Amino acid sequence: MRQVIDATEQETVVAAWCERDHQHAVLPADREVIDGSRSIRALVVDLAISNGAGDELYDACAVLGRLMGELGASPTLASFTIEDACAAMGAGDAPWAAPARAAVAEGFAAALVEGVRREGMHAWDFPSCTVALGEAALAIAAGHPSDDDEVLAAWAGHVARAAALKGVRRAVIAGNERARTALVEALAFVGIETKTSLPHPFPSPG
């Protein structure tokens, strides 16, 4: 039978869960994440008490894990939070606990991987991907690793606008074909003359 939880009980459980999580906080970001995640915690509590194991519960747990990863929470907090939730609900070792822990871990790890990928993309932003050649000219490394045409177009547009604002009039471009093509088109749009070299592996900018 589906159990119903009222708002007051839900709020009490969430508060107890947050209090337990605070005991496992090891980073300043942990405390901010705990206090800023009450809405998703309330959903987890509602789903766990009213419905038990189910895809909606695990999806909510994955969202909680992703939020923790995106906001810089510690792995310690991510690993303890479901245990703390069970304790707050008086659920002990509930049958949904292990899958819920896995869902939190999956969401947390996915957020970390995406963060690293975004940082790698930013390494190709202007001016990191350029070398000044003098006389209003630049060498540009078109080595952006994305294979998404929309991402490449956005990157190329940003580089082209930044180069135009710097007064660049000519550019020599080297790198992979898709990134190079996107960059040539974007630079031409802002009136920058381009010359491409033969494609070859280009080291990531520092």
pLDDT of the residue at 200: 45
Pull the structure tokens for residue 124: 């190709």
pLDDT of the residue at 201: 45
CA distance 89 to 16: 8
CA distance 67 to 12: 22
**Mind listing the pLDDT tens digit of every residue in the chain (206 residues)?**
445 667 788 899 999 999 999 999 999 999 999 999 999 999 999 999 886 668 999 999 999 999 999 999 999 999 999 999 999 999 877 889 999 999 999 999 999 888 877 776 777 888 888 998 888 898 999 888 888 888 899 999 999 999 999 999 999 999 889 999 999 999 999 999 998 864 444 445 55
Is 139:130 a contact under the CB 8 Å cutoff? yes
CA distance 71 to 9: 28
CA distance 131 to 108: 37
pLDDT of the residue at 34: 96
Is 70:25 a contact under the CB 8 Å cutoff? no
Burial of 203 (0-12, 13-18, 19+ CB in 10 A): exposed
Instruction: State the SS3 of the chain.
Output: CCCCCCHHHHHHHHHHHHHHHHHCCCCHHHHHHHHHCHHHHHHHHHHHHHHCCCHHHHHHHHHHHHHHHHCCCCHHHHHHHHHHHHHHHCCCCCCCHHHHHHHHHHHHHHHHHHHHHHHHHHCCCCCCCEEEEECCEEEEEECCCCCCHHHHHHHHHHHHHHHHHCCCCEEEEEECHHHHHHHHHHHHHCCCEEEECCCCCCCCCC
pLDDT of the residue at 3: 59
pLDDT of the residue at 156: 92
